[in-house]
Structure 1
Amino acid sequence: MDELPPELLVKILNRLNDSEDLARCRVASKRLNSLWREVRAVSLICTLSRYSKSRSIAVTPFKTVFKSLIEDSRNISSVSVAVDKALSGITFDDLIEEDSDELYLTDVEFVREWLPRVRDNLEILSISDFWIQSCWRKSDVLALISLNCSKLVKLEVKNAWLSVVGLTLMPNLRHLTLEFIRLDDENLDKVNDCFPFLKVLNLIGVGGLKEPRIRFLHLKSCHWTVSNAPLSLAIVAPNLLELKLKCNKPKSILLETPKLVKLHLSVEDAEGVSIAELQDLNTLEVISPDMYRLIRNTRFGNKIIRLAVDSVRSIEQSERLKLGLGTLLEAFPGIISLNLSPVTWSNIETHFQSEGLVHMKGTDSLKQITARVQTPSHADVHQTVSFIRSILDNCRGVTDMRLMIHQDTDFRVRTYLISACTMSNPRVRWKWGVWAEGGEDMWASIGA
């Protein structure tokens, strides 16, 4: 340890995820204790174990420990203070004092005690609050941060009730994450006005919105998970490249994102979806039980080469007969790679048994199919083999088939399916695996 140059030791200390480990290093080594003030990051997490101990024995309060780390440091550019996710299961009945604020981390008075100490050089700030203590207390911490942290580039706030009263312009902020937040900004007007140069925006489970509108000229990446309320959503972002949008039953969705190249769209009801044609979109993942209407009524552009489709759940027979492989290939004639969920595979196989493979346009471009196959029975496996053979007969460009078989499939059925497919289509590169609900895929290559 003594032979290592101080610059390397400081780099090592900066990589510690929890500043409690840093405190242990200070106790263990005089040299580390002398260098720790050069560390540019403070990160402290209240674990479930620490919280449990604090309820029964005399333990230094978490906030006190955090403030002491801040006060003893200099030149800090990154601060992270958090309550571990393991505490999310605690209820009001578990609290000894219902009005306790020992882990209320977005408390303005608490933040005001330490933020001025680090504000001059602070570039990254993350606060993950204790929801059970923060959900009923409205915090003005955003205004305090905006007034003090002119150099802040990245801000994350989680599990809190936030007000935007007093929020001021933050021209240097490039990355904003609000996760499981109650936000007093119904239409996101204040967020749009005060963070004009954002490049990355994550809104995960933000409640309190009415008719939210995202309007950022410089935004490149956005992840927006909307609550269950039927909202009208709008995203105006002329330079947006990647979007992950999840909403249940929106009244309407308006996307004005002409440069979008990658879209992950999860929607329960596609009736209100309105998307201006996305000329540059090349990667699309859609998740919806309303898949047929979503594909038929939405213009995703004609440059998509990678497509993933998840119909989420089984639907009525009449609806299943609408979505066939031909429907997908007609809507996306240029795709090279197609990824199908178990339900989607089942739906298009049902369509095949009734209608055959129809409207097979665009089949020359398709090269790779990845699918998770539902558990075929002894009686159904022959139909599945026939379906796969028909795909390969009609889609002559397909050279790569990657099929996952459900782990509950009978071994003899699995063996027959693999053998029948590989022997009748030697030109195809086959990759087989096993899948299970909630489990990891397990792949094993078979064939050349």
Structure 2
Amino acid sequence: MDKLHDSLLLQILSQLDDSADVARCRVAYKPFNTVFPDLRSINLQCSKIWYTDSMSRVSKSKSFMSVFLDIISKLDTVESVSIIHEDPYSVMLPGLEGDDLTLQNRFVQEWVPMVSKSLQSLCLSGFPYSFIVPLISKHCHNLVNLHLTYAWLSVVTMNPMPMLTSLTLEYTDLEDIHLNELNKGFPNLQHLDLIGVRGLQNPKIHLLNLQTCHWAEHHHHPQSSLTLITPNLTTLVIECVYPAEIHVEAPMLSEFQLSVNTVKHPGALIVKKFENLKTVWLDSLCIGSLLSEFPITKTVETLSLDSENEEPTDATDSKFTIGKVLMVFPNLSSLCIYSGAWSELEACLNSEDRESSDGKIGLKTICAYLKLVDPSLTFSSVSHVLDQCLGLSEVSLLIHVDVADTESKNFMSKCMAHWPGLKWKWGRWSDDMEESWITDGMSN
């Protein structure tokens, strides 16, 4: 160790995930002190016990605040700061009040100005202050990436932050009026993640430079509508429990993932200018109903269908058929059907209202995740799908690992014998492992 070059020592410190470990290394091995000031990032992991002790007036342990301030005061340049509470939700409980809240306020107000000139990335978890965004916008003019978790946000006195290109808000409280201010205050935002944000009723995202957006609504209170006016958006992910009306104006959108966690009517999907959409992922407890809401889109080439409802019993409201898929996406070339969606397809197989295709389609490849609960029914489903897809060239079937090898091989042999002209691949899958392909490019 005594012969290690300074550059290697700095690399060792840079690889540590927790800045508390950096402090321990400095105590254990003095040469680390020489290179320590050249570190450019701080990543402090605050355990629940450490945080509780830090707030205690009788604790003799060194608080996480004093450790952080000691580290930050000795660094020459700070480009990235991350403070993560192990249990950030507990910080937002009513127990944090009075002197404790004042102490936290002073802590944040003390160090933010110290790193303002060089700071480019900031991640704070469990700092429930309404003033945090105005404080950051006042001092950190070069900030590019901001990630806030478990906070109460207000942007009434926020300064514009034209350098910010990436924003993530998780489990924060934010009202519509504040979201409107964020639209104005971050004019050059390119990446936006709003995960479990509470308080929004009719949110509107109007960002001219936004390229990717992830909206995840995890609460059981439906909004009236969600509006996105984003002329440069290319990737959009929407997850919701009770879906709202979704208005999308994104002419450059090429990848869209929509997840609806309800068996009820999935709401209105109002889409304007879906001119370049190429890849779609739909996930719902009722794929058939969700397909009914999706507008006919001729540009989509790749489609994935998934469902959390692994054992649907009533196909009355769904009527999920391959014909419906091809009607909504007439120029589809690649289709992937996961096990939950395939179970819904099997449940709809014997319904009287079976849609059919005239075979004039461009679908070339199909991949399906199967459980083989009833091999004869699954084979009928495969037959129903493949017989409608006259242009098909390749079929990939992944069979669940719980199915016996003999049964899986017999099923595949039957499929290959029935459709000898296709290129076949098959393998194993489960929720706890990556797909394992047994054969690749096998044909009969």
Does 1:245 find its partner at 2:238? yes
Contact 1:108 1:141 in 2 (8 A): no
Aligned with 2:114 (options 94, 111, 117)? 117
Bigger Cα displacement from structure 2, 438-447 vs 33-42:
438-447
The CA distance in 2 between the partners of 1:91 and 1:129, in whole Å, is 6
Aligned with 1:316 (options 295, 314, 317)? 314
- Matching residue of 1:327: 324
TM-score, normalised relative to structure 2:
0.87
The CA distance in 1 between the partners of 2:48 and 2:125, in whole Å, is 14
The 3 A distance-change label for structure 1 pair 293 and 391 is: closer
The CA distance in 1 between the partners of 2:63 and 2:180, in whole Å, is 38
Contact 1:108 1:139 in 2 (8 A): no
For 2:305, give the aligned amino acid: V
**SS at structure 2 position matched to 1:30:** coil
Bigger Cα displacement from structure 2, 98-107 vs 202-211:
98-107
Does 1:370 find its partner at 2:363? no
The CA distance in 2 between the partners of 1:187 and 1:78, in whole Å, is 26
Does 1:128 find its partner at 2:128? no
The CA distance in 1 between the partners of 2:7 and 2:337, in whole Å, is 50
- Matching residue of 2:255: 262
Aligned with 2:190 (options 170, 186, 199)? 199
* 1:91 Cα deviation after fit: 9.9
- Matching residue of 1:383: 377
Counting matched residue pairs gives: 432
Aligned with 1:230 (options 222, 230, 234)? 222
* 1:26 Cα deviation after fit: 1.9
* 1:355 Cα deviation after fit: 5.5
Aligned with 2:130 (options 123, 139, 144)? 139
The CA distance in 2 between the partners of 1:163 and 1:107, in whole Å, is 17
Aligned with 1:149 (options 135, 140, 157)? 140
The 3 A distance-change label for structure 1 pair 327 and 102 is: farther
> Please, what is the CA RMSD of the aligned residues?
3.1
The CA distance in 2 between the partners of 1:10 and 1:300, in whole Å, is 56
The CA distance in 2 between the partners of 1:430 and 1:26, in whole Å, is 58
- Matching residue of 1:276: 272
Residues 323-362 of structure 1: pairs in structure 2 closer than 5 A: 323-354=320-351, 358-360=355-357
- Matching residue of 1:59: 61
Deviations 1:199-256 (A, max 9, x none): 0011101111121100100000101112332211100100000011112323411101
* 1:142 Cα deviation after fit: 0.7
Contact 2:427 2:439 in 1 (8 A): no
Instruction: Using the aligned pairs only, state the percent identity.
Output: 33
The CA distance in 2 between the partners of 1:102 and 1:74, in whole Å, is 32
Deviations 1:81-130 (A, max 9, x none): 1112xx368699xx9x9336999799432211111111111111110117
The 3 A distance-change label for structure 1 pair 361 and 39 is: farther
Deviations 1:302-344 (A, max 9, x none): 1111101124322623124x21011112221222221112232
The 3 A distance-change label for structure 1 pair 429 and 58 is: farther
**SS at structure 2 position matched to 1:157:** strand
Deviations 1:363-397 (A, max 9, x none): 642222222223423xxx22322332343343243
- Matching residue of 1:44: 44
- 5+ residue gaps, structure 1: none
- 5+ residue gaps, structure 2: none
The CA distance in 1 between the partners of 2:252 and 2:296, in whole Å, is 12
* 1:347 Cα deviation after fit: 2.4
The CA distance in 2 between the partners of 1:393 and 1:248, in whole Å, is 36
* 1:444 Cα deviation after fit: 3.0
TM-score, normalised relative to structure 1:
0.86
* 1:186 Cα deviation after fit: 4.2
The CA distance in 1 between the partners of 2:51 and 2:259, in whole Å, is 37
Aligned with 2:439 (options 418, 421, 446)? 446
